[in-house]
Amino acid sequence: MIGVAGGTASGKTTVCNLIISQLHDQRVVLVNQDSFYRSLTPEQLKNVKEYNFDHPDAFNTELLLSCMETLKRGEAVTTPNYDFKTHQSVGPGSKQVNPADIVILEGILVLHDERVRDLLNMKIFVDTDSDLRLARRIKRDTVERGRDVQNVLDQYAKFVKPSFDEFILPSKKYADIIIPRGGDNEVAIDLIVQHIHTKLGQHDLCKIYPNLFVFFSTFQIGGMHTLIRDMQTTNHDFVFYADRLIRLVVEYGLGHLPFTEKQIITPTGSIYPGVVFCKRLCGVSVIRSGESMENALRACCKGIKIGKILIHGERNDGRQLIYEKLPSDISSRHVLLLDPVLASGNSAVEAVSLLLSKGVPESNIIFLNLIAAPQGIHVICKKFPKLKVITSEIDETLDDDLRVIPGMGEFADRYFGTD
Ligand SMILES: Nc1ncnc2c1ncn2[C@@H]1O[C@H](COP(=O)(O)OP(=O)(O)O)[C@@H](O)[C@H]1O
Ligand SMILES: Nc1ccn([C@@H]2O[C@H](COP(=O)(O)O)[C@@H](O)[C@H]2O)c(=O)n1
Ligand SMILES: [Mg+2]
């Protein structure tokens, strides 16, 4: 959900239309906050010059919230249609908005209300010079909204500008992106279009959780998954292909560590602008299946310290920490937490909580899995928003026994040959 705010005539509608036309994708829809203006009563209509259309109370924000929540659930809504000439809402049911992967909400005050802001995954503020906005507003409102110039200027001085200063401008601080010059800013629009393209290509959960990373799937990776998930695969082949995949997950995880820049001289005497690996690092495996990932980590990081955690779990019940052996200086290290399967997330919560209690900053933890169930992802990514979850595939669900479906069976038994 993307919110686009900004002063009147800053170019919000223009920017949104440009984004949508460049995307060429039916999975994107536009909702205008204007549609949620309250209709004026006959009394208010008589004194329309005294009515402040730029105050938050001019909008039916409850209805807007309910429509946005419906769209967020992936259902269609019918929004009202507003007539700027008569100041009347044509009523609910007049404008159908189809369910979509990306919903863009634009309007002067979409970043003002905290409840609306909380629904938005990306917040944009269109920042256009106020003289230019007034000039555009005069032109637009006289041509499209049935006003005369004096009328526009009076309304602007009495309500539009004071409300901009009181409600709209202060909401700019909530924006993730500020677009100067509105629709003229081709670079900004292009970047936003590219970002939305990327999101559309991602798994739905990655659109919600910025701390979830699923690495790009190729036929090679798909082939390895096919082999390790196949119940007919021998233990020997299971270990071989699981190791290949684990190595990829570990390498991808290491790519998320901080680095420092270092220039070196190559044997040809040339300068190479390089980087240095992060040094304060350790692995922590969740016994028993996490131990299958230790070799790959050792192969990538020479001499790395690896701690262990054993968590006992009853079906559907909470988990209990049984054993832990962690480096004494773990709080000053980046931690790669190893467990090939993220199922309900209960064990992972226990493991991460232990690391946090040892003083490891949440943002220093990278949780590496081969496969992850949506339930576990919701639990971990929500509870620990600064931790990164890295996985090679997201599965469909969990069954009643909390097994990942389609999954790959008991990982540790298949890997260590104990099945
Ligand atoms: N970059 C631009 N150059 C010229 N005119 C513009 C530009 N962006 C918007 N306009 C015009 O200015 C007016 C206000 O733009 P609009 O996108 O409706 O702003 P908002 O939705 O923020 O009120 C419209 O008539 C529009 O055609
Ligand atoms: N009946 C109305 C309703 C709203 N306005 C003005 O519209 C502006 C919001 O729309 P933008 O496209 O410009 O963002 C707002 O500033 C209101 O003053 C109106 O004039 N009459
Ligand atoms: Mg507009």
Over the stretch 171-198, which tens digit does the pLDDT of each residue have?
Answer: 999 999 999 999 999 999 999 999 998 8
Closest ligand to the CA of 12: 1
Q: Which atom of ligand 1 approaches the CA of 144 most closely? A: 25
Q: Which residues does a 6 A CB cutoff place in the pocket of ligand 1?
A: 6, 8-14, 136, 140, 182-184
Q: Side-chain half-sphere of 90: how many Cα atoms within 13 Å?
A: 14
Burial class (CB in 10 A: 0-12, 13-18, 19+), 71: buried
Whether pTM > 0.90 for this model: the answer is: no
* Helix (H) or strand (E) run with residue 135 in it: helix 130-143
Residue 237 binned pLDDT confidence (cut-offs 50, 70, 90):
very high
Q: Residue 317's pLDDT is what? A: 59
> Which atom of ligand 1 is nearest the CA belonging to 183?
1
pLDDT of residue 314: 62
Determine the distance separating the centroid of ligand 3 and the alpha carbon of 202, expressed in angstroms.
30
- Which tens digits make up the pLDDT trace of 114-171? 999 999 999 999 999 999 999 999 999 999 999 999 999 999 999 999 999 999 999 9
- Ligand 2 atom closest to the Cα of residue 8 is 13
Ligand 1 centre to CA of 136 (Å) is 6
Ligand 3 centre to CA of 125 (Å) is 13
pLDDT band at residue 91 using 50, 70 and 90 as cut-offs:
low
Percent of the chain predicted with pLDDT > 90? 86
Closest ligand 2 atom to the C-alpha of 9? 13
Per-residue pLDDT band for 218 (boundaries 50, 70, 90) equals confident
Q: Residues 6 or more apart from 84 whose CB is under 8 A from it? A: 34, 144, 145, 146
Nearest CA to ligand 1 atom 9: 11
Residue 339 and residue 351 in contact, taking contact as beta carbons nearer than 8 Å: yes
pLDDT in tens, 360-380: 999 999 999 999 999 999 999
| Residue 397, beta-bridge partner list | 405
In this prediction, residue 318 has a pLDDT band, given cuts at 50, 70 and 90, of low
Beta strand 341-342 with 371-372 is parallel
Which residues have CB less than 5 Å away from ligand 3 (the ion)? 13
Ligand 2 pocket at CB < 6 A? 8-9, 12-13, 34, 37, 53-54, 84, 87, 108, 160
Ligand 1 atom nearest to 139, measured from its CA: 25
Mean of pLDDT values over 70-90:
92
| From 53, 82, 86, 125, mutation site for ligand 2 pocket: most ligand atoms within 8 A of C-beta | 53
